[in-house]
Amino acid sequence: MARSAFLTTAAALTATTALLLTGCGGDDSSSDDIKGAESGSSSPSESAPASAPPGAKRPEITLPSSFRLTFQDWKSDEPEEQAVLNDGKEELRSGYAAIIGKDLDSEALVFYHTESGLSQAQQWIRTYTDKNLTVIGDLPVFDPEVALGSGDDNAVLNYCTDESKASTRNLKTGEVEGNPPGTDPEVFYSVSMTKNGQGVWQTVSVRSERGGCQR
């Protein structure tokens, strides 16, 4: 289920679906992960972040109750860091919503990615949709850390996910698969982001490392 495996090319993101795809016949490298089950809140849907700047109307993202993305301690006392956290959360939610809805050109997916980031995300999403897979279960997202760049428009968002209760389901056969036995369920992510002219923090690239979390 993991998203990428410390790769920033489209091929790298394709490998990112480690957990889900590993359980469904993919290889058992770090590229078989989920990336971030249902991002956002524990409710089926979550509205745009309250801190969204005027003029930047965030698209609404809806996730089914069958896939729960929960964000733990996703707060910062610094307004700019919180803005990065808010948009990073919604980017993750947009990706899973695209998998579930089989919509690689969704408004939210386009909104939260740069052109290169969108291409990578679409490659990742296709590793599910091309195999008629969807995601189900619980995916906690925790230990967020924001590093702002020297300028005012670049940042890196790091976080971890726990895939132990997340799985893929084949839409044709109904078969449910999780990570193979012995697979570390925790995946570390490092997301490169840039702020556009509307003040939206968009994802440029994502790297991941299975077993890279410490807690």
Is the pLDDT at 61 greater than 90? The verdict is: yes
In this structure, what is the dihedral angle of CA atoms 69, 74, 80, 81, given to the nearest 10 degrees? Answer: -110
**Structural domain includes residue 4:** no
- Residue 91 phi, psi (nearest 5): -65, -45
pTM to 2 decimal places: 0.79
Number of domains composing the chain: 1
**Structural domain includes residue 3:** no
**Structural domain includes residue 51:** yes
| Mean pLDDT for the chain overall | 81
Q: Would you place residue 151 in the very low, low, confident or very high pLDDT band (cuts 50, 70, 90)?
A: confident
**Structural domain includes residue 69:** yes
- What are 21-39's pLDDT values in tens digits? 332 223 333 334 555 433 3
**Structural domain includes residue 120:** yes
**Structural domain includes residue 2:** no
Contact 173, 147 (CB under 8 A): no
Structural domain boundaries enclosing 168: 10-210
CATH number at residue 178: 3.10.450.50
